[in-house]
Chain A
Amino acid sequence: GQSLEQPSEVTAVEGAIVQINCTYQTSGFYGLSWYQQHDGGAPTFLSYNALDGLEETGRFSSFLSRSDSYGYLLLQELQMKDSASYFCAPSGGSQGNLIFGKGTKLSVKP
């Protein structure tokens, strides 16, 4: 079967570092994507990890461990504009479809 777990809510202060964990179970795993969605907006792509290890893009980094079916998104130097929902989305099945969970709502406080 398929399952996906990530925290429902995280709160942090401006300038801090926050890590959003994701554990998943899918058949035919291809890789792990992360998307950001601001309230009222459409999801936007942040990163994709196909191989184990850390991928860094500016203030955001994403990590994948295929053997542990685990990944995380690391947000550094938090800014108020980072307040949004963050979805981890493993790709699986026969065609690599993305599986989205309920996401993690990140609130950044001043």
Chain B
Amino acid sequence: GAGVSQSPSNKVTEKGKDVELRCDPISGHTALYWYRQSLGQGLEFLIYFQGNSAPDKSGLPSDRFSAERTGGSVSTLTIQRTQQEDSAVYLCASSLGEAYNEQFFGPGTRLTVL
């Protein structure tokens, strides 16, 4: 079956521009997560959606970052006024039920801010 998909796979933007990253989770998965991974680093938790509950935004690094999940499915991560330190791979994952269940990751979006 189809896995988690993300688009675009690569995004190059200029400092100060806004970007939108998209994630299509596995159908039926109630939980969706966004992570950020800088080169050679671990995964940094950004935000967690679970069903119709209010999202856990505790990992968002600044108010320039926001995310929404429409209809309990597709999610968009928006970064406003991008900075060079935002350059990283942004990974989306989904899972059935709770956050500690197996998470299925998408291929990621590599964001480069010039």
Where the two chains meet, the residues of A that have a C-beta atom closer than 8 Å to any C-beta of B are 30-31, 33, 35, 41-45, 48, 50, 87, 91, 93, 95-103
Closest residue of A by beta carbon distance from B48: A97
With contacts A99-B45, A103-B42 taken as known, whether A43 is within 8 angstroms of B91 at the C-beta atoms is yes
Taking a contact as CB atoms under 8 Å apart, the answer to whether A87 and B99 are in contact is: no
| Residue in B35, B48, B103, B106 whose CB lies within 8 Å of A95 | B48
27 A-B pairs in the complex with CB atoms less than 8 angstroms apart? A30-B98, A33-B100, A35-B103, A42-B91, A42-B106, A42-B108, A43-B93, A45-B102, A45-B103, A48-B100, A48-B101, A50-B100, A87-B42, A91-B99, A91-B100, A93-B58, A95-B50, A96-B100, A97-B33, A97-B99, A98-B100, A98-B103, A99-B45, A100-B35, A100-B44, A101-B42, A102-B41
Where the two chains meet, the residues of B that have a C-beta atom closer than 8 Å to any C-beta of A are 33, 35, 41-45, 48, 50, 56, 58, 91, 93, 98-108
Measured CB to CB, the closest approach of chain A to B28, in angstroms, equals 17
